[in-house]
Amino acid sequence: MAKRILVVDDERQITRMLRTSLQSSGYDVSIASDGLEGFERFKADQPDLIVTDLAMPEMNGLELTQAVRRMATTPIIVLSVRDTDTMKITALDEGADDYLTKPFSMPELLARIRVQLRRIEAAEPGEVHIEVGDFVIDVDAHTVVVAGESLHLTPKEFDLLLLFSRNPLRVLTHKVLLRGVWGPAGEDQPEYLRVLIAQLRKKIERTDAARYIVSEPWVGYRFQPSGTDELTTS
């Protein structure tokens, strides 16, 4: 069955182009012209993924993202002319899974869509046994095997890797990671995360270059469980 994608944008030229390109790639596409209509279509159609603009009438893209996140974990890719790090971080903190700046290339958007759809298929929150890419994690036993090699992790290192493994290929902001590992009290302690990332990388990386935990400058980190850049190998 074709995956269902909801496109939300108030520019008709953009929605026509996206509908044509996505349908030619085998997706079932529905269109909404603002966030409010997009939210109603989301509730009615239950799409597999949402592509949304930020600046729209009635309900903007951030408000739409917040509303969807109160109900579901459906992947959300934001398209926007606003390319500042602050806006990217805000959108990702509010629950967006990826952010692409306009103008964009259609092949890149299609690659990002494939990545998010694979991420949802691979990630099953609540599992006691997680196998993703080169990683095998036993949640109850707190054991980790990477490419066939057993590793010993500290409790915090394990918590961080578990958070990554449940969100493979998704950009996680510093705030999301700090809150996920240390709770709300850790949000204002970015040095905690830098140290923990460095410690975890020493144990899981097989080369000097970071393959599994990749930095997204000024924003956060992306976990690539197979050690490859999914956007260039799709």
CATH of the domain at 54: 3.40.50.2300
How many domains does one find in the chain? Answer: 2
pLDDT at res. 230 = 63
Please report the pLDDT score of residue 122 as a whole number: 60
Same domain, 92 and 168: no
pLDDT confidence of residue 125: 52
pLDDT at 234: 47
Closest by Cα among 60, 57, 106, 99 to 78: 99
Tokens 């694979």 found at: 118
Residues 9 and 118 in one domain: yes
CB distance 192 to 178 below 8 Å: yes
pLDDT at 123: 53
Look at residues 104, 122, 140 and tell me which one is the last residue of a structural domain: 122
Q: What is the pLDDT of residue 94?
A: 87
| Residue 171 belongs to domain with CATH number | 1.10.10.10
Query: Within this chain, do residues 54 and 143 fall inside the same structural domain, yes or no?
Result: no
Domain's final residue, options 105, 122, 139: 122
Q: CA-to-CA distance for 27 and 133, rounded, in angstroms?
A: 26
pLDDT in tens, 82-141: 777 888 889 998 889 899 988 889 999 999 999 888 877 765 555 678 888 999 999 888
Same-domain pairing of 108 and 138: no
User: Around 187, how many Cα atoms within 13 Å sit in the side-chain half-sphere?
Assistant: 7
pTM over 0.85: no
- Residue 166's alpha-carbon distances to 21, 126, 203, in angstroms, are 30, 9, 19
Structural domain boundaries, residue 202: 129-233
Which pLDDT does position 227 carry in this prediction? 84
Of 67, 93, 122, which one is at a domain's C-terminal end? 122
The β-bridge partners of 80 are 101
Residues 225 and 203 in one domain: yes
Q: What is the pLDDT of residue 177?
A: 93
pLDDT of residue 26: 96
Q: Are residues 102 and 160 in the same domain?
A: no
**Residues of the chain with confidence (pLDDT) below 70:** 122-127, 229-234
What pLDDT, on the 0 to 100 scale, is given for residue 22? 97
Q: Are residues 136 and 46 in the same domain?
A: no
Give kind and range of the element (H or E) at residue 145: strand 143-146
Place of tokens 């990749």: 214
The whole-angstrom separation of Cα 124 and Cα 127 is: 6
